[in-house]
Structure 1
Amino acid sequence: MNVDPAEIAKFEALASRWWDPESDFKPLHDLNPIRMNYIDSFVNVAELTVADIGCGGGILSETLAKRGGVVTGIDMTDAPLKVAQLHALDEGVQNITYRQMTAEQLAEEQPGQFDVITCMEMLEHVPDPSSVMAAINTLLKPGGKAFFSTINRNPKSWLFAVVGAEYVLKLLPKGTHDYEKFIKPSELASCAREAGLKVTDFKGMSYNPVFKTFRLTGDVSVNYLMATEKPEQTS
């Protein structure tokens, strides 16, 4: 399977802190409104089928469900999925299904079943991002949209996302990221096109360490988002 056991172990160990906004997952809590606003600018997920690939403890999945989406969140970590299920139960959110499986497995089971797919901060943690991208294309309905976020690979991103975030500001546990797995926007776009997706937009996400907030920018040199869509079928 397209899984790195070391990556799984890292997130398993942190599972109990997933929904603490002041824990190791504070960056995800801070990023979530920015990611959701970006998705909202392209599509209203209400009553649409949504898959959240690499959902972890369910921060984005639950937001998508609260916006009215019928959400399937998948991940290969067991403990974070249990945390996600319990949190959704506590919040009374019923339109989420969490499953322990890969994107490739879901694609075999439910091809062409989803209107929207999100894959956030996940591709830099798998051995073969192109396999995930191909699975996402298979999962989407014609005209469906997929959204990604990851980290660029360059000296600036190493300085900000590894040295700054993990060692200086201590926003993330040391060892969270492997610089060699970072993905340049050109590489991600090429991967999407090879899978059959049309790239429609890029946006950067900039962090202000003084105010401890993220904002969307035109600078994709560190963290960035990519929007894609699956072309409509033609006769």
Structure 2
Amino acid sequence: MDASLNADAAELAKFSELAHRWWDPESEFRPLHQINPLRLGWIESLTGPLQGRTVLDVGCGGGILAEAMARQGAQVLGIDLADKALKVAQLHALEQGVQGLEYRLVSVEALAAEQAARYDVVTCMEMLEHVPDPASVVRACAALVKPGGWVFFSTLNRNPKSFLFAIVGAEYVLRLLPRGTHEYGKFIRPSELASACRQAGLALHATRGLAYNPLTRRYWLSDDTSVNYLFATRKEAA
């Protein structure tokens, strides 16, 4: 791997090994399938209908969110550096006959140099905690969105509660995720992400937390950002 890439080879290998299970709703990716309607609904509640919009999904993995946005009528590009996951995404879209959806093996920084101010909406979900330099990703996302456009992030807060819930609870007790999915030291406090967004020219517009009930196995959006949280930001209009 190019040493200049803002990527962790071990992280890419980890998700590549599981690539064939991306679209199994009972697999390790079950949480992503369950929260996807929540994410999509929140995005459209802020942007309005995605129909006809140009959308970029950064760190798209197997394409769960990218495909859902394309089904809403958006023109979507999903990018990732995990080749096996992209192949799974491409195959699933082909099998399902999804229109308006493309995938590319490219870093967000490289794409920003190529397609500045190209997209109406940029999403970067569950990715920032897996890269060496999250602020670099934030800057690239800001460069890729059009003036007045939206950039959405989701990641994990860094505090004792998130360690207990997202690692001990989710990976070891409830086994919602494979052990080793997350590294606590890479979690990002909302204040840190907000600072990176401001420095990149993105104004924070809304935040939401993601809650889970292990008894009902149900997720919902909440005001509690202490563990999982989402940011909606906008780039200043020209």
TM-score category (smaller protein)? over 0.9
Distance in 2, Cα, partners of 1:2 & 1:91: 32
What is the 5 A alignment of 1:1-235?
1-43=5-47, 44-233=49-238
Distance in 1, Cα, partners of 2:142 & 2:33: 27
Which runs of structure 1 show a deviation greater than 4 angstroms over 4 or more consecutive aligned residues?
none
Shift of 1:40: 1.1
Task: Letter of the 1:128 partner, please give it.
Answer: D
Task: Letter of the 1:8 partner, please give it.
Answer: L
Shift of 1:211: 1.2
Given the two structures, how large is their TM-score scaled by the length of structure 2? 0.97
Shift of 1:31: 1.1
What is the Cα-based RMSD across aligned positions, in Å? 0.5
Distance in 2, Cα, partners of 1:154 & 1:143: 33
Task: Say which SS state the counterpart of residue 152 (structure 2) adopts.
Answer: strand
Shift of 1:206: 0.2
Q: Deviations over 1:81-118 (max 9, x none)?
A: 00000000011012111001111011011101000000
Q: Deviations over 1:166-208 (max 9, x none)?
A: 0000000000000000000111111100111000011100011
Given the two structures, how large is their TM-score scaled by the length of structure 1? 0.98
Task: Letter of the 1:16 partner, please give it.
Answer: H
Task: Say which SS state the counterpart of residue 51 (structure 2) adopts.
Answer: coil
Distance in 1, Cα, partners of 2:65 & 2:165: 23
Distance in 2, Cα, partners of 1:81 & 1:94: 16
Task: Say which SS state the counterpart of residue 175 (structure 1) adopts.
Answer: coil
Whether the 8 Å CA contact 2:71–2:99 is kept in 1: the answer is no
Task: State the identity as a percent.
Answer: 59
Q: Number of residue pairs matched?
A: 233
Distance in 1, Cα, partners of 2:90 & 2:130: 22
Task: Letter of the 2:60 partner, please give it.
Answer: C
Q: Deviations over 1:19-58 (max 9, x none)?
A: 0000000011111011111101101211010000000000
